[in-house]
């Protein structure tokens, strides 16, 4: 069984669009929603919505943050394969989940997603020109499955045992930032690869980045990003910098980047 975990906090229009885009998904799954005390009618909507897939629902008394909600979703889910999806995404191919699951059938793959970076700097930042993704109308993947150094949290799929071996999502990162890089490197530490698959999607952005009753203010958000990067870089300094590209590909990418200057 596959479980699709979607944490939510308000942003009901985004949640509705996300769930609507999952209708017709070719791979059977159960939906698991963790509601961080939404006040915009999300609870009522989920109670009455007619959905073509089974659902599980857990509501928190307060907004506990995205990372803790992800761990709650893993505990609520019944699947052997867990797919963690932000509620500000919309899928554009009914085979999206099948493609993620198929990637995990390779015994050497531990984590699959739709957006990631092939090179991570010593300080934990992604190298922009090595970012690969399946965004609708702008995908830059050079194959159906591309290895990356880290997968972005917008969509993460992995086996339950792999998540357990990684220790779950690291709540030490706080509310939002850093958990996806951390998980990616924890999976790679198990001798497994991280990949991005070609499954077109739309990312509306901002649906999960809320704290309390209002979005995080820019200065605080920037400070949290910096703290998360510093924590990640310190923990994984033995693996950083990290680049999964081969020598020929690195040279080709360097030549392209140089020509654009």
d(CA 186, CA 236): 9
More confident residue, 253 or 1: 1
Contact by Cβ (8 Å): 57, 69: no
Q: What is the pLDDT at residue 173? A: 93
Contact by Cβ (8 Å): 7, 42: no
150-151: strand order across its sheet: 131-133, 115-117, 150-151
SS3 content of the chain, % helix, strand, coil (to 5): 35, 25, 40
Question: What does the radius of gyration of the chain's CA atoms come to, in whole angstroms?
Answer: 18
- Tokens representing 113? 């997603």
Other Cβ atoms less than 10 A from the Cβ of 226: the count is: 13
Delineate the domains of the chain, giving CATH numbers in brackets: 2-206+216-259 (3.90.550.10)
Among 249, 227, 208, residue whose Cα is nearest residue 68? 208
Other Cβ atoms less than 10 A from the Cβ of 240: the count is: 17
Q: Assess whether pLDDT exceeds 80 at residue 258.
A: no
Q: Assess whether pLDDT exceeds 60 at residue 210.
A: no
Q: What is the largest CA-CA distance in the chain?
A: 56
pLDDT tens sequence across 231-245: 999 999 999 999 999
For residue 63, how far is the Cα from the chain centroid? 19
- Tokens representing 200? 């077109």
Contact by Cβ (8 Å): 91, 25: yes
Q: How confident is the model at residue 179 (pLDDT cuts 50, 70, 90)?
A: very high
Q: How confident is the model at residue 131 (pLDDT cuts 50, 70, 90)?
A: very high
Q: What is the pLDDT at residue 183? A: 98
Q: Assess whether pLDDT exceeds 50 at residue 213.
A: no
pLDDT tens sequence across 22-81: 999 999 999 999 999 999 999 999 999 999 999 999 999 999 999 999 999 999 999 999
Q: What is the pLDDT at residue 248? A: 82
d(CA 70, CA 93): 24
Q: What is the mean pLDDT of the chain?
A: 92
pTM of the model: 0.92
């Amino acid at each position: 069984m596959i479980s699709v975990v979607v944490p939510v906090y308000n942003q009901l229009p985004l949640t509705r669009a996300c769930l609507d885009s999952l209708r017709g998904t070719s791979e059977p799954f159960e939906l698991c929603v963790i509601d961080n005390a939404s006040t915009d009618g999300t609870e009522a909507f989920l109670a009455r919505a007619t959905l073509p897939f089974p659902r599980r629902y857990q509501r928190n008394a307060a907004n506990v943050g995205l990372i803790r909600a992800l761990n709650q979703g893993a505990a609520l889910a019944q699947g052997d394969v867990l797919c963690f999806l932000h509620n500000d995404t919309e899928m554009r191919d009914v085979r999206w989940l099948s493609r993620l699951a198929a990637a995990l059938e390779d015994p050497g793959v531990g984590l699959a997603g739709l957006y990631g970076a092939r090179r991570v700097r010593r300080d934990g930042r992604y190298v922009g020109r090595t970012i690969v993704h399946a965004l609708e109308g702008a995908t830059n993947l050079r194959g159906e499955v591309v290895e990356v150094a880290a997968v972005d949290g917008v969509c993460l799929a992995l086996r339950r045992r792999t998540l357990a071996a990684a220790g779950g999502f690291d709540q030490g990162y706080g509310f939002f930032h850093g958990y996806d890089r951390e998980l990616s490197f924890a999976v790679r530490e198990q001798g497994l690869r991280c990949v991005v698959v070609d499954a077109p999607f739309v990312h509306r952005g901002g649906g999960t980045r809320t704290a309390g009753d209002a979005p995080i203010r820019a200065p605080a958000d920037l400070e949290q990003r910096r703290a998360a990067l510093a924590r990640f870089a310190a923990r994984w300094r033995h693996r950083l910098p990290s680049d999964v590209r081969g020598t020929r590909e690195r040279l080709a990418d360097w030549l392209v980047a140089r020509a654009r200057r």
